Amino acid sequence: MTTAPDKILTLPDSFFIRVGTEKGREKVVFGFSSLEGHLTITNNGERRVINAHLTYDAGRVERLCELSYFTWGRFLIRIKQVLSPTALGFFYQRKVNLGRIKRHGLFLTTASPGLNVEKELVRITKKGKCFHSKREIKHGTFQDLIKYPKDIVTDNAPLYFLFSPDRRSIQGIIIRDPASPLGKSYYFVTMKMFRQFVKEHNYLLFCILTELNFNNKEALLRLFEKKILTNNRTFPS
């Protein structure tokens, strides 16, 4: 008796992350298969700067910015001061009853799968320094990710995606509150709320960048405004 082959699910996109660990030349490279290029952020230990550039598939390189260590430190501090408080307030504003999820026939997929499942989702190369998400996933692997409301009470994952089988789409994100007694409090963020969160924080990030002094600043702000801000929100007057 032969075993039927596992069905394959094809995802619309995939991403990769590559990490460079050479001392004084550390870098992170990431991109998506749907985009014609990738972003690289590099540490230059000799010059004590952090720089970022885009590399397109045709080989063209577009310099984005170069920040001194001092400016990079200010950038991280401002993110913590401005973005972190608003992010916490946003994600923990809508408490959810897990029983309602069950009544609506929805289920969840964990955002922290086990090691065996991870091997089916991600290809790791270059001695663990490069990660490629897979576009083709076995149906059985997807089933292993499914969690029902009764399952997550005893599960320790901090975050889940809420999936509707009828609409065949992700409806939002369920977040566990680690500070609640026994970790039994959960909050719901709809995809509409999440998109609004991204829009507002993109604008706050833009404002932080305007406060700093760094090489190629004007060009980066123009690119940021054209590629990101113009498409997702109107500037306040």
Between β-strands 15-20 and 27-32, what pairing exists: parallel, antiparallel or unpaired?
antiparallel
| 49 band by pLDDT with thresholds 50, 70 and 90 | very high
Return the pLDDT at 96.
82
Q: What is the pLDDT of residues 140-166, one digit of tens each?
A: 666 777 777 777 777 777 788 887 777
Q: What angle do CA 79, 82, 85 make, to 5 degrees?
A: 105
pLDDT beyond 80 at 27: yes
Return the pLDDT at 3.
46
Q: What is the pLDDT of residues 119-139, one digit of tens each?
A: 666 777 766 678 777 767 676
Return the pLDDT at 235.
35
Q: What is the pLDDT of residues 56-103, one digit of tens each?
A: 877 889 899 999 999 999 999 999 999 888 888 888 888 887 777 766
Going from N- to C-terminal start, the domains of the chain cover 95-121+136-191
Q: What is the largest CA-CA distance in the chain?
A: 71
Contacts of residue 18, defined as CB under 8 A and 6 or more positions apart, other chains included, come to 28, 29, 30, 126, 129, 130, 131
Lowest mean pLDDT among 19-28, 112-121, 167-176: 112-121
pLDDT beyond 50 at 40: yes
pLDDT averaged over the chain?
79
| Two structure tokens written together for 114 | 């086990």
| 237 band by pLDDT with thresholds 50, 70 and 90 | very low
Q: Which is more confidently placed, 209 or 196?
A: 209
pTM of the model: 0.71
From 59, 65, 11, select the one nearest 38 (Cα to Cα). 59
Return the pLDDT at 234.
38
Rounded CA separation 198/195 (Å) = 5
Burial 102-137 (b: 16+ CB within 10 A, else e): eeeebbbbbeebeeebeebbbeeeeeeeebebeeeb
